[in-house]
Amino acid sequence: MSKVLMKGNEAIAEAAIQAGCRYFFGYPITPQNEIPAYMAKRLPEVGGCFIQAESEVSAINMVYGAAGAGARVMTSSSSPGISLKQEGLSYIAGAELPCVVVNMVRGGPGLGGIQPAQSDYFQATKGGGHGDYHLVVLAPSTIQEAVDLVMEGFDIADQYRNPVMILGDGMLGQMMEPVEFRPLSSKRELPLKTWATTGYTGDRPRNIINSLFIDPQALEEHVKRIYQKYEEIKKNEVKVECYNCEDAEIIVAAYGTTARIVKSVIQKAKREGINVGLIRPITLWPFPTSTFEEWAQREHVKAFMSVEMSMGQMVEDVRLSVNGRKPVYFYGRTGGMVPEPNAILSEIKKVIGGVSR
């Protein structure tokens, strides 16, 4: 199939439709409005249903309902709206339902701003709502990768009966790149949705979608079973890109659009004779811990530096993974400010000057 030039938001919406998503419930917020707009136009054409809910809270609960009925369903929002969805996400994770949620992150806290940010990392990767749970968090760096990850995201959600979050930012949503909608390279054996509440006709046991367990022992068992599932996810689903890490003096950790800026920095540094590597987590949860462990043991790697559009969130997972083997530094801009290549490079030089002394 030939390539088309598309905005990130629109490409994500089309990818969802091609992945079989037929239900979308959302509420407008910049910088992700092209997703619901595209869904509103496209879903009726493919026999699906789009509803602009009266709030983010009702949108996520509509997702809860559709997911419970076994449908492929998606919602999208940006930071403040995603905060409003957290209660529903916790319920969906508790009830073990598959769905895809897109967060095109903007600067925070509060209403914040509308420019790109990565300051929802904690919220996305550490649960976000109440209780013991995780979302699978996928962080695309290009629009093509966003398309591929949305498609695979629906499969991951169905395979593990767990909500999947696509964590982008305003830049990825607003920019345009050529994309190709192609079938997934890996075919998964997806379990039948025998648990779905599709209407009781007597030919199977009654299905109940529930996240309430009054008996603490039952709840502990339920959560422990979910955590066994998480171990499977950690084993099977980690995705990471290592770029220019061989012979690198310093390895930068960056994800999403920031990783693209870092790639530009790496090329620039190369011309100045400085060898910089990049570890780009594609799954933020599960985090590619072992990749960091491996590179931290290499002699030539003197230090790590996490570069983020936040005040320092992923850096905590980098530190946990590097586990004291090498120093871990941080550079970030926040509030919608995007780190500039020259500023990143001068931070890198500072670190190299410090550790080689």
Partner 1 sequence: MTHQIIIAGFGGQGIMLMGQLLAYAGMLEGKNVSWLPSYGPEMRGGTANCNVIISDEPVASPIVTEATAVMVMNRPSLDRFEGAVMRGGLLLVNSSLIDKKASRDDIEVCYIPANEIADQLGNSRVANMVMLGSYIAKTGAVSPAFVIESLRKALGPSKEHFITLNEEALKRGAECVKECVRR
Of 84-92, 123-131, 168-176, 187-195, which part binds partner 1 (CB under 8 A)? 168-176
Rg (CA), the chain: 21
Sign, Cα dihedral of 312, 252, 128, 104: positive
Of 90-98, 120-128, 256-264, 279-287, which part binds partner 1 (CB under 8 A)? 256-264
How far is Cα 203 from Cα 216, in angstroms, rounded to an integer?
Answer: 32
Q: How far is the CB of 109 from partner 1 (least distance, A)?
A: 20
How far is Cα 286 from Cα 313, in angstroms, rounded to an integer?
Answer: 15
Amino acid symbol at 163: P
Establish if 260 lies at the interface with partner 1 (CB under 8 A): yes
For partner 1, the closer of residues 78 and 289 by Cβ is: 78
Report DSSP letters for 113-175, one per residue: -SSB--TTHHHHHS-SSSSS---EEE--SSHHHHHHHHHHHHHHHHHHT-EEEEEEEHHHHH-
For partner 1, the closer of residues 125 and 334 by Cβ is: 334
Q: Is 140 exposed, middle or buried (0-12, 13-18, 19+ CB in 10 A)?
A: buried
C-alpha of 3 from chain center: 24
Residues written for the chain: 357
Residue 20 has φ and ψ, to the nearest 5°, of: 100, 5
Among 18, 338, 349, 355, binds partner 1 (CB under 8 A): 338
Establish if 264 lies at the interface with partner 1 (CB under 8 A): yes
Establish if 267 lies at the interface with partner 1 (CB under 8 A): yes
List binders of partner 1 among 62-121 (CB under 8 A): 114-115
Q: How far is the CB of 3 from partner 1 (least distance, A)?
A: 6
Build a one-symbol-per-residue string for 28-67: x at contacts with partner 1 by CB under 8 A, - elsewhere.
--xx------------------------------------
Establish if 341 lies at the interface with partner 1 (CB under 8 A): yes
Cβ neighbours around 206 below 10 Å, total: 7
Residue located via tokens 């419930």: 25
Establish if 263 lies at the interface with partner 1 (CB under 8 A): yes
Among 194, 210, 342, 346, binds partner 1 (CB under 8 A): 342
For partner 1, the closer of residues 118 and 257 by Cβ is: 257
Q: How far is the CB of 117 from partner 1 (least distance, A)?
A: 13
Establish if 3 lies at the interface with partner 1 (CB under 8 A): yes
List binders of partner 1 among 177-206 (CB under 8 A): 177-178
DSSP label at 107?
S
Interacting residues toward partner 1 by CB under 8 A:
3, 5, 30-31, 114-115, 170-171, 174-178, 257, 260-261, 263-264, 267, 338, 340-342
